[in-house]
Homo-oligomer: A and B are copies of this chain.
Amino acid sequence: MEEERAVGTPVLRRLNTASVLRAVRACAPDPVRLAELVELTGLTRPTVGQAVEDLVEAGWIQHDHPAAASRKGGRPAVRVSLRGRAAPVLGLDVGPHTVTAGIDDLAGRRLAAVRRSVEHNGASRLLTVVDAVIARALEDAGLAADEIAAVVVATPGIVDPGSGRILLAPSVPGWTSVNLSDHLRDRFRCPVRVENDANLAALAVARERAEAGTLLAVQWGERLGAGVVIDGRLHRGTGSAGEIGFIRPSGRVPDTDDGRGPLERAIGAEAIAEQARRAARTHPGSVLRDGPVDAAAVFAAAAVGDAVAERVVDDVARTFAHAIAPAVLVLAPDAVVIGGGVARAGPVLLTAITRHLADLTLAPPEVGISGLAEDTILTGALSLALDEVWHQLPA
């Protein structure tokens, strides 16, 4: 319980080497000249030299002496670059139907990426696939489990921040009884962290944007969740932050007893399709009468001006806007970013949401669509894993 902040001269060295390492990291995968580091850090050459020596010895960076380009007179510079292999991290996205694994090195290079779909729904089957995907990813990257420096797993459901246990996961039967966290901790000799998938998607979106202010990143598909990023940091609250699927919209909501929340039942992907089917039955002119109707078809029809589809989309947008408006008022986020399957709806949905939100809030946030592909969650997991490593670097 002691503060134990031993401050002697050695801490200066630690401070400065950390500073140099940060500078090397900032130059990403490119090698950097020593003189450049001097400018970046504001330290003097001898100090930087000492720090670089220490860092090379510790294995964090490596010399890059094949003196490449930039020849314009003068003694050739010693150049160093981040030694990515020093601390590769593993990211996992465990979805109900798909398991994705990725391995990044310290420099952010992707060493492996494996995706496999899960045929039969169920927790034990899912766990088997997780193990297989991890094994394959490690093989692809040419790494042993011991070499991994941090693991972050994305899972649907609510995760207890302390233990990493999954407290609630309606989309995967039996998932709460599997102790994923302990299972992985046995395999890896490094920090393992389990996190809600929407949270990690939010983190990925926030990192993609230049200024990471306050962000509400919605994952909208069959289910509905959100991640909250505040000043660039993930917000967890008591653990279940961002569970917008359980917001109760004002209208009537179908009462399916499958563990989903009211808002999900009202405007989840399937609910959107169902709403459109009902509307189409009474309006013969709509293109939605032909063929099977899913959410994508509704948005496509609205995009080309189908009146029935347009009204459904507007209804959905209104319900969504009314649902999140209180949260937007309380948080005053810079942006609300939508990802997930419904995000593919594009501008049709977006403009409708923007319009309704403008009416309901004081400082309407920018409403956008996540620019990241389906790797969003994985990217967030890897990003958090890298954070973890960088956070505890001065070992």
Contacts and interface: CB of A to CB of B under 8 A. Distances in A.
A353 to B, nearest CB: 15
A334 B6 contact: no
A114 B246 CA distance: 47
Contacts of A362: 158, 168, 240, 243, 246
Interface residues of A, number: 56
Interface in A1-44: 2-7, 9, 11-12, 15-16, 19, 40-43
Contacts of A41: 3, 5
A301 B184 CA distance: 58
Contacts of A361: 246
A211 B41 CA distance: 37
A242 B15 contact: no
Contacts of A246: 329, 361-362
Contacts of A326: 244, 247, 323-327
Interface stretch (A90-98, A186-194, A230-238, A377-385): A230-238
Given A43-B7, A239-B363, A329 B329 contact: no
B243 A329 contact: yes
A207 interface: no
A246 B357 CA distance: 12
Nearest to A5: B42
A228 interface: yes
Contacts of A16: 7
A333 B327 CA distance: 12
A75 to B, nearest CB: 26
Contacts of A47: 7
A103 interface: no
9 contacts: A3-B42, A6-B42, A7-B42, A216-B330, A235-B331, A242-B329, A243-B332, A250-B250, A325-B326
Given A6-B42, A7-B43, 12 more contacts: A7-B12, A7-B47, A168-B362, A213-B237, A237-B331, A237-B334, A237-B363, A238-B363, A241-B330, A244-B330, A247-B326, A330-B331
